[in-house]
Structure 1
């Protein structure tokens, strides 16, 4: 089915003329990308959104379980606290999963680590499935934590694997599939959440377990697909196995250019051996890379996108939209997200990374300002709730077509092989820590600040816009070593931090 499929590469310059290059793939690349996707970012996207539709049923389950256990209704804000734990434990698990990336990928390699992660996801689904029959909301919390652990490990391994199987000219398109599969996961969760399908009170545990079916598929199929070529060449030193993996993935060829690039990177690594996350934090030569990814992931998490995914029902209900229409609106959000993610994948090698970041953050900030205004006008007119929904759709388009879509690509490009695993650990810790904090705080925040809580999101988006416009270098079409040099050249008030690091080395 995949034989003879065509992948459009980036436009290259030769003798001053722009020529479109195409690579015909007779290998397993597209199939491997699909298998990695259904067990990677797809799972994370599904579980972030999948909790939105059954949220009222789970809260009623908490009430009924408490009453059966103690013969009295739960006191005060107990249900809200337990619900916040269910939401946030997913991110806490993701935090531990992100910390485990270096251990899993180093001991097992990329392929075996991904398979092991899918088994963890299946275990989490089993706990969730039995929680309803056991009448235990504690089991839901445990299941969410196990599932979050799998997601935290899986998202990082997915991006790492994609970055290490893709040739330079296809790197943007291939790594962008991570965002596309994340959007597909959200869309499927919203679709299955319709009352005509699994969005019914008696099936809430089934809808939260569905992704485990795809994890089973990944466990069965992935052993027969190639290991990541960059991992084989740079970390294992197996040049023949690397060439065989490249030919298996992308078709017959000598792949001299790709292997020369890996050789140059390997030489750089010999001068700078692989670092632990702590050593990477202390390394001033990658300071700007660390700052850039930290700002991107903080702004992405505090942009409000994750809160739309998890608390869509509560947000639209507060906006004044009738409850029976909310699930259909959230389904429309999912369709919008997947279409935009695919469009971003087609544009990223033409528009570049930098405009997608600063332009996306700028429009997102404006969207939240107008959402705040519309929420304060919801009692004055019947049309303001639907204007709010339209602004949220525009926000999703800008996020998925900009920072959300390009983040994975940039993360795979700005760190060389010796720093990449440690960088994924640091970024994962930050990402899941912020998500856990939001999961705990947001239910209380929206009660306390009402519509004005979105002003916080607007400010974070504006921060991201300004930083990306003034500091982020373009990475399109460059080797990893060229990108590293671009970051080293960044100056603030005429001062380069690279000079400081050289001075420290001499001392």
Structure 2
């Protein structure tokens, strides 16, 4: 978005003008929003409905976390109760990511057709069905179907919840409220890790119903996204929804007019396809976005996170409960610290520190298994393994978990964000499936080798960020595009 030429973008008579149009239009929108944001900050109004709406939405984020965290504390009990082989449990654990990948790919159309609330209702329905199938299952087929359904549900949640929060929040609160999404995912995962060490796996499956039920009930009391209502032509309903979100005494006419202008401008932009992303103007952004997702996943997060309890047992602990509880306790505060540092230290330093920490954690865990194989310092092996995994999880939570998604949202021009988002999400979930499915097989082959592979990807991530990823903190989208394409 580095083009500032004063040319006519309405006629589209030349290729150069067609290329410039999205950049100039987006710049015009950004400048207009910046001017109006200061005016909106001074408006009085209640944020009670805004906070309630955000709370209801992030119940889906919490559900996301419980689904991801379910397999870690339940592996040994489920394999024993249902006589599951290693391959069968690996399929159960990883099929969540296949469902999530399909859910994420279809979520955009679902959210546009049913609305943001309708998409959340549909997602909650899939999750409830999935958890009940897991609870009542006596064999692998219903178990896998249930896990797939919960995966599909959280795939929709992963798209629609951040979109809904961003669309209902005023600009001055949008960043903070959107951060709650990632925080609640971590809270849900930590909850599953913690509670799963105290109750049976079937009871843990039932706890997954709670956030879905709260979400479904709460949706009756909150408004639909004003931007979606305006997009489908329900202008009056959009203004009513805005009034509920901003407070009955707030003047929403200006914001409503801005939404209309924004939607009309978006509709005038050219529709991008996946192939358009490989144009020379966008190829570096694609490399950055896809590369960060590859390193995020192939650093081992879903393998380590899904099966952490059994990893501790393999390292020599009598039970994986202590290590699992420790992970549950550190994830939330570390994620909070990362959210605070993101806009203070910058994206690149946070990524590099995070990737370095995940490398160190994998390296230490690999060393612990090497010592065990060589029958050296056996008393220290469990301590080194737990320390390595804790360092890994804390380091991932502070940067590699959230920052790649933030950068992805910043590096693509407005008119290709939809296609780019689909590609990046597809790569992310494919990587998540590959790692979560192969982890147990790799551990059977060589625990030392497994963590050596992950540590190698973490080390490569540091180099990738240092050489290719630009700093996006405090820059306009136009400035980011200039730094990428220069």
Report the TM-score, using the length of structure 1 for normalisation.
0.78
- How far did residue 92 of structure 1 move? 1.4
Does the 8 A contact of 1:88 with 1:436 survive in 2? yes
Q: How does 1:338-377 map to 2 (within 5 A)?
A: 338-377=332-371
Write the distance in 1 (CA, Å) between the matches of 2:123 and 2:387. 38
Residue of structure 2 equivalent to 1:306:
302
Does the 8 A contact of 1:87 with 1:439 survive in 2? yes
1:350 is paired with a residue whose SS is coil
- How far did residue 113 of structure 1 move? 0.9
- How far did residue 422 of structure 1 move? 3.5
Pick from 64, 67, 76 the counterpart of residue 47 of structure 1: 67
Pick from 423, 427, 432 the counterpart of residue 429 of structure 2: 432
Residue of structure 1 equivalent to 2:454:
457
- How far did residue 35 of structure 1 move? 1.4
Residue of structure 2 equivalent to 1:154:
157
- How far did residue 439 of structure 1 move? 2.5
Residue of structure 2 equivalent to 1:29:
50
- How far did residue 172 of structure 1 move? 3.2
5+ long unaligned stretches in structure 1: 1-12, 15-19, 64-77, 497-507
1:165 aligns with 2:159: no
Residue of structure 1 equivalent to 2:80:
60
- How far did residue 256 of structure 1 move? 8.8
Pick from 192, 207, 211 the counterpart of residue 208 of structure 2: 211
- How far did residue 180 of structure 1 move? 0.7
- How far did residue 317 of structure 1 move? 1.4
Residue of structure 1 equivalent to 2:94:
88
Does the 8 A contact of 2:470 with 2:483 survive in 1? no
Does the 8 A contact of 1:162 with 1:174 survive in 2? yes
- How far did residue 268 of structure 1 move? 5.4
2:73 is paired with a residue whose SS is coil
Residue of structure 2 equivalent to 1:504:
none
Residue of structure 2 equivalent to 1:181:
184
Q: Please say which of residues 405-414 and 91-100 is displaced more in the overlay.
A: 405-414
1:396 aligns with 2:390: no
Write the distance in 2 (CA, Å) between the matches of 1:305 and 1:167. 34
- How far did residue 191 of structure 1 move? 1.8
Write the distance in 1 (CA, Å) between the matches of 2:180 and 2:334. 12
- How far did residue 185 of structure 1 move? 0.8
- How far did residue 245 of structure 1 move? 4.0
CA deviation vs aligned residue, 1:219-260 (integer Å, no higher than 9, x gap): 121133133344445x34666655554453355655799778
Closer, same or farther: CA 365–30 of 1 in aligned 2, 3 Å? same
Write the distance in 1 (CA, Å) between the matches of 2:329 and 2:349. 24
Q: How does 1:105-184 map to 2 (within 5 A)?
A: 105-131=111-137, 135-184=138-187
Q: How does 1:239-250 map to 2 (within 5 A)?
A: 242=238, 244-250=240-246
1:328 aligns with 2:331: no
- How far did residue 262 of structure 1 move? 5.6
Closer, same or farther: CA 21–239 of 1 in aligned 2, 3 Å? same
Write the distance in 1 (CA, Å) between the matches of 2:44 and 2:390. 35
Closer, same or farther: CA 35–288 of 1 in aligned 2, 3 Å? farther
Pick from 99, 110, 113 the counterpart of residue 104 of structure 1: 110
Write the distance in 2 (CA, Å) between the matches of 1:21 and 1:311. 50
Does the 8 A contact of 1:125 with 1:212 survive in 2? yes
1:385 aligns with 2:382: yes
1:294 aligns with 2:314: no
- How far did residue 44 of structure 1 move? 2.4
CA deviation vs aligned residue, 1:337-377 (integer Å, no higher than 9, x gap): 01111222333333333322222112222332233223322
CA RMSD in angstroms comes to 3.1
Pick from 170, 189, 193 the counterpart of residue 190 of structure 1: 193
Name the count of aligned residue pairs: 444
